[in-house]
Amino acid sequence: MSQATLPPAIDRDSESEARQRHWVTSPLFGLLQSTNRVKTFLETTSSGFRGVAALLLLAVIAVFTDAALALSPAGRIIVDVILIGSLCAALAISIAHIFRNRFNPQQTARVLEERMNVTNSLFVNGVDFASAPGRNDSPQLRERTVRMADERAASISSLDVFPFTPLYKAIGVAGLATVAVLSTYFMAPRVYGMVVPRLLDPTGDHPPFTLVEFNVEITPDPIYHGRPAAITATLDGPERIEQAAVVFLGEGEDERVPMYPGEERQFVLQIEQAAQSRQFYIDTPRGRSQTMTLKVLEIPFIEEVRVAYEYPAYTGWSGQQHRLDGRGLRALEGTKITVAATSNIPLQGGQLILEATGEDATSQATVALTPHPAEPNTVSGTFPIEFSGRFELSIVSHKSVPSLEAVDGPLTVVPDRNPDVVIVSPGPYVVAVENWQVPVTIEAVDDVGISRMRLFRSVNGWGPNDVDVDFVQPQPNTARAQTEFDLPALGAGAGDLITYYVSAYDNHPSGRQFEDSETHTIQVISEEEYRQYARQQYQMEEMIAEFEAIREQLDELQQQREELLDELEELRKEMEASPEPTEEMLQKMEQLEEQLQQFSENAETLAKRLDERAEQLELYEVEEPYLELLRKLSDQLQQQSESASNVGESMQQMREQPLETLRKEEFLDAEQQFREENEPFSEQSQETLDSAAQDMELYQMADSLLSAADRMRSIISRQRELADRFGEIGDTESLTPDQQDRADRLAKEQELLEQDLQQTMQQMREAAEAAQERLPEMSQSALELCDKLGSMGVAEDQQTAASEARAGSGRPAHEAAESAAQKLESLQGECSNCQGAAEGMCDKLDGPLSLSQQRLEQCLNQLAQGRGIPGLGNKPGSGQGQQPGQSGMGGMNGQNGQPGSGQGQMPMWRPGQSFPGSQAAITVLGPHTMTEQMRESPSGRLGGDDRGRWIPFGTDEAPFGAESLNPETRDSTHSSAGQLRGVPVPYRDAAEAYFKRLAEER
């Protein structure tokens, strides 16, 4: 059906719906709706804030009314009703505002025209035409009016229709009311704190407001039945309270008990015996406190537990007693313990339960506690302590009421243990020089006391022989003894072995409680063996580092001396310009005195160290002129110290007597003498020291070349040994599995030996190049040897031997190893030796350390003894044992360093090795040989390896008489080494090559 044929009624309904949708979305409708919301918000909010202000003021009035009048419960209920009614009225007014301002377009349009001064009823007509147009209205007029109203509405904001001033005023009133409430609260917080609970709970037991502050303390806490108690009230406030009373609340009438004044503003009520729990409050003419409770526990409690100990008679200890504490019951086994418990009320009895733990967990005992006849509040019981565990103590009152809490704790029986004994010094392993006295210090401690000590000793397995040792007791349970082993008196000579230990006995009645110390060992060596050890620890590099450290200290002293001379010269000039010393000059003199004193002490300390060094054992021929040089330096430094001290003393006398001409002349003479005596700081002394340093460098160069030559000879010897071992598979074409395992092992050893050869050649070449200028013949010989080794293909033969052995070719491997051995042996005569080096060095040494050719050769031999290169004579394993008591080295076989088959059968641990089965350092006792009191210096002028040392000033340490052998004391890569400390000598080269190969692989 087309629109032209629609019934008139349907057409009108559709038009009405369209008009209604247009009206709801029109700007006029939106303006009217937002305006109505703004009007409702302003009226409701304003009335709400005014209501809040009124309620706050009413609340403040109510609070202060109760504070002033102390309203009764009925009065507080009336006040609460008024406040609640006011709150309900405020809520009703707000609801009425919301209901009255329901949205009415016509009414809102009129209000809008009035507020915006619209006189032509534009908005009212617009609402009428848009919402409900009449049938007779002109469509053009209706549309025109609606359009004009929408256009005008679009230009108006709902926020501009009503002023916000009333809202702001209402907010201000509420804010002022809030500020007033907060101000009164902060001014009188106690008023609110006491009154508000009364208004919130009008029928509750809340005290009225008072300016009196009640600080009530009930002691003790808790209170037990029959025990005294006290109620103490401290009353603070602006007014002084003269009287107070405690009001006890009861079911009938309340009981009022006056309190007695105590300290300032304090009242006390003493209760002799608290019988029952009661509620109370403190009442005064100016107010009362809150209600509190005096709680009384009507049960027994343990006030104190005391413990008494009666120790066993053999200890000699007097009895002790103390209050039981966290340690519990702890005593020596066999001690009788008495436990006494005191309660607050008379007791019927009690019990002490002892329960064992651990291995004796099944043991249990109960000790009955009986009342004391004279003290009905105390019960006690006695028992001997026999096991460890825990205890629990409980009591029962005279009315058979048990205590709520028991006292428990640990029960510990302390057994009488064996004593502890230790040999404090020397260490477990000692190497001592024959004809030496070895002091021994022993300490023992026991939980009760030491009765005796016995020393057991044996020489070369004979014994042990025992002897009682006298001791002193610094404390009753400790003992300290000092004795010594006189090696000559014991008949112990070089090569002998002394073992000893100590037994300490305590004073237990059984007499069987003792303990042995660890067994200590003393190996006796000859003086020559001791020298050999010392040479291993102190070689040319150490001597150079030591000399460099001395020169550094001399340089420091020279610098100090030059600074002092400059200041003394300046002081001399000031004295010439001013006959009478000024205050500034006197202060300068005092400072110079301190500097001179410091210089004198430094010079004297260094001189003392040089003297001590010069008195030490000579290890090398070169040390004779070297030590003589140190003695000379020491004398010169001592003279410098005395001269500086004289200048300081004369300056002090002149400062104390500035007008004495004699004092001034003495000072000038001392200063002139100090200036003229310039040894050892003169140019000639410096030249002498430089020449000595150059001599040391020459010795070090020769030592480096000889070290490389010794290693080369060792490699030649080891290659021959290895080639002979290759001969075991040399006649076999096809190797069995066992033979292949051996071939692989030989190949590994050949590879390591080849690496060692390469490193030794490099070391020899570097040493030769460094010494080429000063030792041309030795250097040239070493370089030619390196060139021949390279041209002869020794390394290639060694590599071939290893590869063929791994491939299972026995004959080619043996031939290659044999070829390498023969080539090396053909060059053995070209390796430098000490005699040839001495001949080449003799005319190069012209300084203070120069030696004759014979002594120079001996010095180089002595240096070689400290290197311990494997495979070169005097190596461990000669198997030459010694009989007990004879001088010499114990037998050691050549393969594995085990005891040899010598007649003595007593193994000898050489200096530089560890005792078998122990990692402990070996202590060496003998003449002073080392200068370990010198610390390391940042750099070395001669050594060049950061190993320089110095002698510290201001210390009084004596030179070390005992040296500790430590595997890390020396670097195995320096020129005089070629060894790894702690590794048996036959295996040091292999171990060194192995570790170097690992480093290269990284």
CB contact at 8 A, 434 and 493: yes
Tell me: pLDDT of 114 over 60.
Answer: yes
> Where on the phi/psi map is residue 871: left (φ > 0), alpha (ψ -120 to 50), or beta?
left
Element (H, E) at 514: strand 514-516
Range ranked top by mean pLDDT from 125-139, 332-346, 663-677, 750-764: 750-764
Question: pLDDT digits over 263-311, tens only?
Answer: 888 899 988 888 778 889 888 888 888 888 888 877 787 888 999 998 8
Domain spanning 210-297: CATH superfamily:
Macroglobulin (MG2) domain (2.60.40.1930)
Tell me: pLDDT of 420 over 50.
Answer: yes
Burial of 670 (0-12, 13-18, 19+ CB in 10 A): buried
pTM for the whole thing?
A: 0.48
Question: pLDDT digits over 469-481, tens only?
Answer: 888 888 888 889 9
| Residue 236 pLDDT level (bands cut at 50, 70, 90) | confident
Tell me: pLDDT of 983 over 80.
Answer: no
Tokens of 47: 């009335």
**C-alpha–C-alpha distance, residues 683 and 630, integer Å:** 17
Rounded to the nearest 5 percent, the helix, strand and coil shares of the chain are: 50, 20, 35
* Side chain identity, residue 23: W
**223-224 and 296-297: which strand pairing?**
parallel
Peptide bond into 870 cis (omega under 30): no
SS3 letters across 330-389? EEECCCEEEEEEEECCCEEEEEEEEEECHHHCCCEEEEEEEECCCCCCEEEEEEECCCCE
Torsion angles phi and psi, residue 413, rounded to 5? -95, 125
Q: What is the mean pLDDT of the chain?
A: 77
Domain-wise residue ranges, the chain: 14-184, 210-297, 302-414, 420-525, 537-691
Peptide bond into 680 cis (omega under 30): yes
Q: Residue 135: its pLDDT value, please?
A: 53
Of 218-222, 512-516, 853-857, where does mean pLDDT reach its minimum? 853-857
Report CA-CA distances (Å) from 828 to 806, 831, 902: 29, 6, 32
Tell whether domain 420-525 is in CATH 2.60.40.650. Answer: yes
Of 249-253, 559-563, 929-933, where does mean pLDDT reach its minimum? 929-933
Tell me: pLDDT of 450 over 60.
Answer: yes
Report CA-CA distances (Å) from 668 to 201, 594, 641, 917: 103, 18, 17, 69
Q: Residue 916: its pLDDT value, please?
A: 43
Question: pLDDT digits over 153-169, tens only?
Answer: 677 777 767 777 787 88
Q: For residue 397, give every residue at least 6 positions away whose Cβ sits within 8 Å of its Cβ, in sequence order, or none.
A: 299, 300, 343, 345, 346, 347, 348, 403
Residues 630-647, mean pLDDT to the nearest whole number: 89
Tell me: pLDDT of 979 over 60.
Answer: no
Q: What is the CATH number of domain 302-414?
A: 2.60.40
**C-alpha–C-alpha distance, residues 674 and 551, integer Å:** 21
**C-alpha–C-alpha distance, residues 772 and 879, integer Å:** 42
Q: Residue 993: its pLDDT value, please?
A: 58
Residues 406-416, mean pLDDT to the nearest whole number: 87
Tokens of 542: 């150490």
Report CA-CA distances (Å) from 358 to 361, 413, 416: 5, 13, 19
Q: Taking Cα atoms as reference points, which of 45, 57, 32, 55 lies closest to residue 166?
A: 45
Q: Is the dihedral of CA 642, 644, 649, 653 positive or negative?
A: positive
DSSP 108-155: HHHHHHHHHT--S-HHHHHHHHHHS--TTS-HHHHHHHHHHHHHHHHT
Do 210-297 and 420-525 have matching folds?
yes
* Side chain identity, residue 988: R
Q: Taking Cα atoms as reference points, which of 679, 683, 686, 676 lies closest to residue 565?
A: 676
Report CA-CA distances (Å) from 113 to 117, 156, 318: 6, 11, 114
Burial of 739 (0-12, 13-18, 19+ CB in 10 A): middle
Count Cβ neighbours within 10 Å for each residue of 249-277 and write b for 16 or more, e otherwise: eeeeeeeeeebeeeeebbbbbebeebeee
Range ranked top by mean pLDDT from 61-70, 813-822, 977-986: 813-822
Q: For residue 724, give every residue at least 6 positions away whose Cβ sits within 8 Å of its Cβ, in sequence order, or none.
A: none
Q: Residue 989: its pLDDT value, please?
A: 53
CB contact at 8 A, 490 and 522: no
Taking residue 472's Cβ as centre, other Cβ atoms within 10 Å add up to 9
**C-alpha–C-alpha distance, residues 722 and 814, integer Å:** 9
Higher-confidence residue: 414 or 17? 414
Residues 525-531, mean pLDDT to the nearest whole number: 79
| Residue 843 pLDDT level (bands cut at 50, 70, 90) | low
CA distance between the termini of the chain: 101
Of 258-267, 653-662, 686-695, where does mean pLDDT reach its minimum? 653-662
**C-alpha–C-alpha distance, residues 945 and 939, integer Å:** 7
Tell me: pLDDT of 876 over 50.
Answer: no
| Residue 964 pLDDT level (bands cut at 50, 70, 90) | very low
Q: Taking Cα atoms as reference points, which of 41, 46, 39 lies closest to residue 162?
A: 39
Q: Residue 894: its pLDDT value, please?
A: 34
Range ranked top by mean pLDDT from 144-148, 210-214, 254-258: 254-258
Q: Is the dihedral of CA 137, 138, 140, 141 positive or negative?
A: negative
**C-alpha–C-alpha distance, residues 318 and 608, integer Å:** 56
Torsion angles phi and psi, residue 729, rounded to 5? -115, 10
